[in-house]
Amino acid sequence: MDISFALTGKGYVILASDTTAARSIVKMKVDEDKIKVLSPHLLMAYSGEPGDTVQFAEYIERNIRLYQIRNTYALRPPSAASWIRRTLADSLRSRKPYAVNLLIGGYDTSTHQPHLYWVDYLGTMSEVPFAAHGYGAYFALSLLDREDGLMSGSSYHDPEAPLEEGLKTLRRCLDEVAKRLVVTPEKYKVKVVDKDGVREIEI
């Protein structure tokens, strides 16, 4: 089962996704990158039905790129997310719907705001401060929900936290999953998007 997390902070969005590609009970690959870079300031983590995922992600990737070539500038994160959601919602009522869940993180260079969207295979979309898909959601969301101040100086989620602190919060989520989930992924790929664009971070 795929696990992905994402959270926002002061001027950035972090996305993390496990790197296993599995068929049934067998791990086929342990270094699969499941976060696509859609444009200079836009990331998309995808999970779900094997086959659908890559096919859908590449379709989105190429269409977002096409828009950028035609219009010289890329779609802003809210518009890109809305278009991706519509694609999934239309697909849902087609003969063979894509079964793909997404986390879309981006930095809007015209308003200087980070945006994170939780999207599921039905085309449900919500802008959120933090999000997760897969079994990790059951552990991480409750962890991230906890308000700061109950333990002073602790780094539960804070939308105004600097990157260092955001990564520490992410680390807590990964540790919690490692501790409590029966089948734990061994490796995660982590990507960040902020005003300087997209980059990968070792964790």
Partner 1 sequence: MARRYDSRTTIFSPEGRLYQIEYAMEAISHAGSVLGVLSKDGVVLAAEKKVTGKLLDMSGSKEGGYGGSGEKIFLLNSNVVAGVAGITADANSLVNYARQAAQRHLYMYNEDIPVELLAQRLCDLKQGYTQYGGLRPFGVSLLYAGYDPHYQFQLYHSDPSGNYSGWKATCIGANNGTATSLLKQEYKEDISVEDAIELVLRTMSKTMDSTTLGSEKLEFATLTLDANKQPKAKIYKPAEIDALLQKHGLAKKDEDTDMASA
Partner 2 sequence: MSIMEYNGGSVIAMVGKECVAIASDLRLGNQALGISSNFQKIFQMTDRIFLGLPGLATDVTTLKETFRFRVNMYTIKEERELEPETFAHMVSSALYERRFGPYFIEPVMCGLQKTHDGSYKPFIAATDLIGCLNFAKDFVVAGTASSKLFGVAEGLWEPDLEPEDLFETCAQTLLNAVDRDAYSGWGAEVYVLTKDKVIKRTLKGRMD
Which residues have a Cβ under 8 Å from the Cβ of 9 and sit 6 or more positions away?
114, 158, 159, 160, 161, 162, 163, 165, 166
Question: In 3-state terms, what secondary structure has residue 185?
Answer: coil
Q: Give me the residues paired with residue 96 across strands.
A: none
Identity at 60, one-letter amino acid code: I
- 184, interface contact from partner 2, partner 1, none, CB < 5-8 Å by kind: none
Within 104-133, the residues that bind partner 2 by CB under 8 A are 118, 120, 122-128, 131
Q: Residue 53 or residue 101: which is nearer to partner 2 going by CB?
A: 101
In terms of Cβ atoms closer than 10 Å to its own Cβ (0-12, 13-18, 19+), residue 25 is: exposed
How big is the site for partner 2, counted in residues (CB under 8 A)?
19
- 141, interface contact from partner 2, partner 1, none, CB < 5-8 Å by kind: partner 2
Does 55 contact partner 2 by CB under 8 A?
Answer: no
- Residues 131-160 vs partner 2: string with x where CB under 8 A? x-----xx--x-------------------
What is the rounded distance in angstroms from the CA atom of residue 46 to the CA atom of residue 91? 16
Residues 100-116 as b/e (b if ≥16 CB within 10 A, e otherwise) read bbbbbbbbbeeeeebbb
Q: Residue 108 or residue 127: which is nearer to partner 2 going by CB?
A: 127
Question: In 3-state terms, what secondary structure has residue 195?
Answer: coil
Interacting residue ranges for partner 1, rule: CB under 8 A? 71, 73, 75-76, 78-79, 82-83, 86, 108, 110-111
- 120, interface contact from partner 1, partner 2, none, CB < 5-8 Å by kind: partner 2
What is the binding site for partner 2 (CB under 8 A)? 85-86, 88-89, 92-93, 118, 120, 122-128, 131, 137-138, 141
